[in-house]
Chains A and B, each alone.
Chain A
Amino acid sequence: MFGLNKKDTSLLLIVAALVALAPIILNPFPEGSGMAQFNAGYPDLMQRFVIFGIFAIGFNILFGLTGYLSFGHAAFLGAGSYAGMWMMKLLSINVIPAIVFSVIIAGLISLAIGWISLRRSGIYFSILTLAFAQMAFALAASVLTPITGGETGLQTNLNDPRILPGFLGGGSSVDGNIPKPSLFGIEMTSSFEVPVAGWLWTFNWGYYICGIVMLIAFYIAIRIFRSPFGLMLKAVKSNQQRLNYTGLNTRPYMLACFVISGMYAGLAGGLMAAMDPQVGAERMQWTASGEVVLMTILGGVGTLIGPVLGAGLIKYFENIFSKINDNLLHQWFAFLPDGLEDLMVTIIHPFIGKGWHLTLGLMFMAIVIFLPGGLVEGGQRLRKMFGRKSEERAPKTTPAE
């Protein structure tokens, strides 16, 4: 189907089903129960899951296929956000021009940065991209204030010109002084809630728009992985020397890959602006670039689904683990004798709330050491452990990844 082989088609369908049902799957605990805070099925977070999923898929096209580790992808994300924001200010509050333009701008910027950075490989390439991203961050925060809004950032405003006819944006409502982005009148923030028994499922328009975009992005990524172009990129990772002596100029391949990857980041940035119409320079900071590296490695470098899983895991930790506080811990350990309860809370305290980074760091270390292939390798091992019998019956096929 869609020019994919059977295995990839089923992967795509599974991801599509997960995206469609996420508001239900991510809300396993009934509303009002003690565990309800572990529910991730609320629009804000689900949007972040898929947007960062797109970001990581794009990053993995570069890092996973060619092995070139870019430390500057946040610059493309930020550039996409700014570009999208300006489209919503100048053209229309409709998100489509914003998203399209964010991809184009990120593509142009990555073309310029890639043109220079790809003259070097290995650590020097990483440092060059990092330098460019930090430059972009510094520019956005200071010199380019008229365009980026400097440290205050950029927001949509009622007084923005918006030259395209108003009906494109529909009768979008206003939150304070900030018009809400919409798709032909459907606001990104609008959703309908379905209470089922104890559960509350929230189906949000913005999330589903992001989800559809992610599925398209995921589909294109699969096609790239299975294409002759993808084969050349894998060859770059495997043995650039041989490729040079095989009559291929690796530079245009690398540059095309870098630009595609940058456009994915721009797409993610544009969607971020479309979901929440405000953007600040911190989106370009190097920590954001580092985050996407972590997502990709956690999920599994060079695998199709890995980066999406990694993005989900990190965003879940960021939003859920960070909300656990000492009071909650005391509630959980209330069954213990007082002294022991305090001790447990003291021990766990550094790993929760603002300390979630510590938990993430430990988890990252554990995965890199014990599961170098990331979550995907973990899944494969589990399947091997439990599915040995079915594998014996199946004819031996070539591994795709």
Chain B
Amino acid sequence: MGILEVKDVGKRFGGLQALGNVNLDVAENTVHAIIGPNGAGKSTLLNCLVGKLIPDTGSVMFDGQSVLGRTPYQINQMGISRVFQTPEIFGDLNVLENMMIPIFAKRDGAFRLHAIENMMDEKDIVEAAEKMLVDMNMADKRYMHAAAMSRGDKRRLEIGMCLAQEPRLLLLDEPTAGMARADTNNTIDLLKQIKDERDITIAIIEHDMHVVFSLAERITVLAQGTPLVEDTPDNIKGHPKVREAYLGEAA
């Protein structure tokens, strides 16, 4: 029994069957990668997990509870945090404020009107945010305008914001897309560190095989909306069906 169980999930957009009968079982405290060629339905699947899309068929269970029919913020409160393909941070705010928001959200739930309290009087929140910035190696950037940071730093901040909520499942959508090699390697190191230090399950969608094989313990290969194989990285590497679907004839 995994922490995330996807059963027979199907999603159709008009004439396109984006997902057909996807079954996925992510075991607790593992890193599970979902790979596949363009148009395989990876992002659609992820959007079904976080409440952005509602699948036509099937069920998605997180820790024994269905996520279907819940809004993204409710699913987040269940313990699923999502990292976007392009880093989604609060660009107009500084780094510390960025980090404080998820911690407020974690403490207060969906709403608390503290309209005339002073933000900086919330010592616990500020401390927790500072601590997470130290963990993320960004303490020196705490007053920096978030939009002014490099792509890699934005990614680091976004991952930190997700971790600040102490999620049980971290979903990453191509976390290194469009990154320079150095930033990619930094991100890999960061994710490895997170995996080692925290009780957290990570599900990662990725194009970059280097990233996938450095991190994943299990890999599911999607092709044309259906899972082709699910296995360990070593077995996937040599799997003929995978080579054919994913790497193409040339490989």
* Chain A interface residues toward B at CB < 8 A: 3, 5, 220, 223-224, 226-232, 234-235, 237-239, 241-249, 252-253, 256, 260, 398
A246 touching B105 by the CB < 8 A rule?
yes
* A245-B72, A245-B76 known; A227 vs B90 contact (CB < 8 Å): no
> Shortest beta-carbon distance, A369 to chain B, in Å?
22
Residue of B nearest to A67 (CB): B92
Q: Which secondary structure dominates where chain A touches chain B?
A: helix
Complex CA gap A223/B121 in Å reads 12
Within 8 A of A (CB), among B83-126: 84, 88-94, 97, 100-102, 104-106, 109-122, 125
B116 touching A220 by the CB < 8 A rule?
yes
B201 within 8 A of A: no
B118 touching A226 by the CB < 8 A rule?
yes
* Contact residues in B for A230 (Cβ distance below 8 Å): 115, 119
> Shortest beta-carbon distance, A231 to chain B, in Å?
6
B81 within 8 A of A: yes
The contact of B115 among A224, A239, A247, by CB within 8 Å, is A224
The contact of B88 among A5, A228, A242, by CB within 8 Å, is A242
> Shortest beta-carbon distance, A394 to chain B, in Å?
15
B114 touching A228 by the CB < 8 A rule?
yes
* Contact residues in B for A248 (Cβ distance below 8 Å): 73, 101, 105, 110-111
B38 within 8 A of A: no
Within 8 A of A (CB), among B25-65: 50
A229 touching B89 by the CB < 8 A rule?
no
* Contact residues in B for A235 (Cβ distance below 8 Å): 90, 93, 101
* Contact residues in A for B88 (Cβ distance below 8 Å): 239, 241-242, 245
The contact of A229 among B94, B100, B106, B114, by CB within 8 Å, is B114
B17 within 8 A of A: no
* Contact residues in B for A253 (Cβ distance below 8 Å): 111
* Chain B interface residues toward A at CB < 8 A: 50, 71-73, 76-77, 81-82, 84, 88-94, 97, 100-102, 104-106, 109-122, 125, 143, 161, 165
Residue of A nearest to B77 (CB): A247
B110 touching A247 by the CB < 8 A rule?
yes
B90 touching A238 by the CB < 8 A rule?
yes
* Contact residues in B for A252 (Cβ distance below 8 Å): 110-111, 113
* Contact residues in A for B114 (Cβ distance below 8 Å): 227-229
> Shortest beta-carbon distance, B210 to chain A, in Å?
27
Complex CA gap A228/B125 in Å reads 10
Complex CA gap A230/B105 in Å reads 14
B118 touching A227 by the CB < 8 A rule?
yes
The winner among B77, B94, B115 for most chain A CB atoms within 10 A is: B115
Complex CA gap A239/B92 in Å reads 9
* Contact residues in A for B89 (Cβ distance below 8 Å): 239, 242
The contact of A227 among B92, B102, B117, by CB within 8 Å, is B117
A224 touching B116 by the CB < 8 A rule?
yes
The winner among B91, B101, B120 for most chain A CB atoms within 10 A is: B101
Q: 8 A-B pairs, CB-CB below 8 angstroms?
A: A227-B118, A228-B119, A229-B117, A238-B92, A245-B82, A247-B102, A248-B101, A398-B94
B101 touching A245 by the CB < 8 A rule?
no
Residue of A nearest to B76 (CB): A247
> Shortest beta-carbon distance, A401 to chain B, in Å?
11
Residue of B nearest to A253 (CB): B111
* Contact residues in A for B84 (Cβ distance below 8 Å): 241-242, 245
* Contact residues in B for A243 (Cβ distance below 8 Å): 90, 101
The contact of B76 among A228, A241, A246, by CB within 8 Å, is A246
Interface contacts beyond A231-B104, A245-B76, A245-B82: sample of 18 additional A-B pairs, CB < 8 Å, sorted by A: A226-B120, A228-B112, A229-B114, A229-B115, A232-B101, A234-B93, A238-B92, A239-B89, A242-B89, A244-B71, A245-B88, A246-B73, A247-B76, A247-B102, A248-B73, A252-B113, A256-B115, A398-B143
> Shortest beta-carbon distance, A222 to chain B, in Å?
9
Complex CA gap A246/B111 in Å reads 12
Complex CA gap A223/B117 in Å reads 7
Complex CA gap A231/B110 in Å reads 14
A242 touching B90 by the CB < 8 A rule?
yes
> Shortest beta-carbon distance, B222 to chain A, in Å?
22
Complex CA gap A220/B106 in Å reads 26
> Shortest beta-carbon distance, B199 to chain A, in Å?
19
A239 touching B118 by the CB < 8 A rule?
no
A249 touching B73 by the CB < 8 A rule?
yes
Complex CA gap A237/B81 in Å reads 21
Which 10 pairs from chain A and chain B are nearest by CB?
A: A247-B76, A249-B110, A252-B111, A223-B116, A238-B90, A238-B92, A229-B115, A242-B88, A398-B143, A247-B105
> Shortest beta-carbon distance, A236 to chain B, in Å?
9
* A227-B118, A227-B119 known; A247 vs B106 contact (CB < 8 Å): yes
* Contact residues in B for A246 (Cβ distance below 8 Å): 73, 76, 101-102, 105, 161, 165
Residue of A nearest to B117 (CB): A227
Complex CA gap A143/B97 in Å reads 49
Residue of B nearest to A229 (CB): B115
> Shortest beta-carbon distance, B238 to chain A, in Å?
37
Complex CA gap A248/B106 in Å reads 9
> Shortest beta-carbon distance, A255 to chain B, in Å?
9
A239 touching B100 by the CB < 8 A rule?
no
